[in-house]
Structure formats: structure tokens, C-alpha cells
């Protein structure tokens, strides 16, 4: 049984490493990709402001936001000297450290959903920068505003069908990826994000099972009438392995 994650090898992390240690064969089926906006002026102005200390706090909600900022010259070490950086989970914290941050960022204790983050995030007043993907919606910005923050929201990247435009892609190209033609009935598909669930609904082929990571992905899958075997109880190898043992 092969476990196929609907993301790129460049996004691989503790989930893939943990599943491989447990003896599972891993494959990558990228359904979405990520690219910089066509107009970069707002993003470049944000990077300048982060280096100058324009905001008291910076909230980063995904690793791809870090990659987009870094592609425009952002240096986290310059920002953390005068701005408190917050992230939504350990995966984003690892990418932040990979790009030169040395301070431990704020992150929620358990619930990394928008509601969970907002419940735990320190209240304002104060100034806060919120770069996000275009598909993120308004929930975080609205919630932070209600908590007293003066929020500067900037689109850092767009989610597109794989592959992204080469001159604007956030992730490096990789030749060891699958297409839907490579998927067999013995495979298990792991939907890693709501956008992946929507793309899989358009291209789905018969497989042993489809698993979702996280409630937002589960909801997106159900909205598109996907037949889910289960939703992982935690967004890590242990949570996915628990589901696999019941298949």
C-alpha cells in the first residue's frame, strides 16, 4: 500500500519522514502550486516595513508565506530584532528557522484553526502585519481586528493548479512527482489542504481510501462530495498511521 500526499516533495516534512520510519512507501501527487502575485509592490513594501520595524507583531499562517517573503528579500533575523513573530504551528516555525530566524515564535498551544488561534492570540491594541495566501479568506484579519489589532493585510502568494509559472513559483521544480495516471487502486490518498481536496474532486480516480488532514480539509472534501475514509486525528504521522491501521 502506497501513501500518496497531495503536495510537492519540497513541502515534505515530519509527516513523510514519520510514515517512512513506520515502513510505508510514500509518493507525491501535487495538485496545487504556489506563485508570487503579478503586482509585487505591496509585498515589497511589506518586506521593507518588516525590516524597518513598522509593526509590533507579524503573524505568519503558512510556510509558503515565508517562502514568498524570502523570495522578495525578507530576512527574519532583521525583523525579530524589533517585532514579535507569531506562527500557526511547528511546521511553519521550522521553515522560519530555516530562513534564519533565531527567536522562538509565538504559536497556539493546540488548536491551529483560525478560531483556535484567535482565541489564544494576545489582544491588542497594536499594529500587526498579516501576509497570507489569496485563498485564506477574511476570517483571520477580521478576528484580529475585533481583538483590537490594527491589521495590515497583504497577499503574499496565489494558489494555482500545478505547476506554477516558473518565473513566479515559490517551490523548486522536482521530477519525482506523480500524476493521476500513476495512481492505482491500491493507493491511499492523503489530502493535505482544502485546495487539494477541491482539485482531487475534479480529478479523482479509484483508490483504496482517501484521508483528510484537519477539519478545514475534511469540510472541503465533504462540500465536494468526496468519500472520505477518515480524518486524521492529528496533523502528523501518528495521526495518519492511526487511520491507516483501521483500513
**Phi, psi angles (nearest 5°) of residue 87:** -130, 170
Alpha carbons 209 and 30: distance in angstroms, whole number: 17
Q: Can you give the pTM of this predicted structure?
A: 0.86
Q: According to CATH, what is the number of the domain 35-158?
A: 3.40.50.10090
* Residue 2 CB neighbours (<10 A): 17
Query: Predicted confidence band at 216 (pLDDT cuts at 50, 70, 90)?
Result: confident
* Residue 41 CB neighbours (<10 A): 8
Query: Predicted confidence band at 236 (pLDDT cuts at 50, 70, 90)?
Result: confident
Could you tell me the three cell numbers for 162? 500545478
What residue ranges do the domains of the chain occupy? 2-30+177-244, 35-158
| Contact call for residues 15 and 164 (beta carbons, < 8 A) | no
Could you tell me the three cell numbers for 102? 533565531
**Phi, psi angles (nearest 5°) of residue 241:** -60, -35
Query: Predicted confidence band at 48 (pLDDT cuts at 50, 70, 90)?
Result: very high
Q: Are strands 32-35 and 149-161 parallel, antiparallel or unpaired?
A: antiparallel
Is there a common fold for 2-30+177-244 and 35-158? Answer: yes
Asked if residue 234 has pLDDT above 80, the reply is: no
CATH topology of domain 2-30+177-244: Rossmann fold (3.40.50)
Amino acid at each position: 500500500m502506497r501513501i500518496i500526499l497531495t503536495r510537492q516533495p519540497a513541502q515534505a516534512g515530519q509527516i513523510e519522514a514519520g510514515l517512512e520510519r513506520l515502513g510505508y512507501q510514500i509518493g507525491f501527487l501535487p495538485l496545487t502550486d504556489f506563485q508570487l502575485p503579478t503586482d509585487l509592490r505591496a509585498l515589497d513594501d511589506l518586506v521593507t516595513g518588516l525590516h524597518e520595524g513598522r509593526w509590533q507583531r507579524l503573524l505568519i499562517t503558512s510556510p509558503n508565506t515565508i517562502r514568498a517573503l524570502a523570495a522578495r528579500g525578507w530576512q527574519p533575523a532583521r525583523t525579530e530584532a524589533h517585532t514579535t513573530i507569531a506562527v500557526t504551528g511547528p511546521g511553519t516555525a521550522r521553515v522560519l528557522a530555516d530562513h534564519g530566524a533565531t527567536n522562538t515564535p509565538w504559536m497556539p498551544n493546540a488548536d491551529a484553526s483560525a478560531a483556535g488561534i484567535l482565541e489564544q492570540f494576545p489582544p491588542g491594541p497594536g499594529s500587526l502585519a498579516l501576509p497570507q495566501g489569496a485563498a485564506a479568506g477574511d476570517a483571520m484579519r477580521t478576528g484580529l481586528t475585533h481583538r483590537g489589532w490594527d491589521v495590515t493585510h497583504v497577499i503574499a502568494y496565489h494558489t494555482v493548479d500545478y505547476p506554477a509559472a516558473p518565473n513566479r513559483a515559490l517551490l523548486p521544480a522536482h521530477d519525482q512527482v506523480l500524476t493521476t495516471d500513476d495512481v492505482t487502486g491500491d493507493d491511499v490518498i492523503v489530502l493535505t489542504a482544502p485546495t487539494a481536496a477541491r482539485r482531487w474532486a475534479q480529478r479523482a480516480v479509484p483508490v483504496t481510501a482517501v484521508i483528510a488532514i484537519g477539519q478545514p480539509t475534511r469540510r472541503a472534501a465533504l462540500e465536494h462530495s468526496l468519500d472520505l475514509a477518515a480524518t486524521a486525528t492529528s496533523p502528523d504521522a501518528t495521526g495518519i498511521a492511526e487511520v491507516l491501521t483501521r483500513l
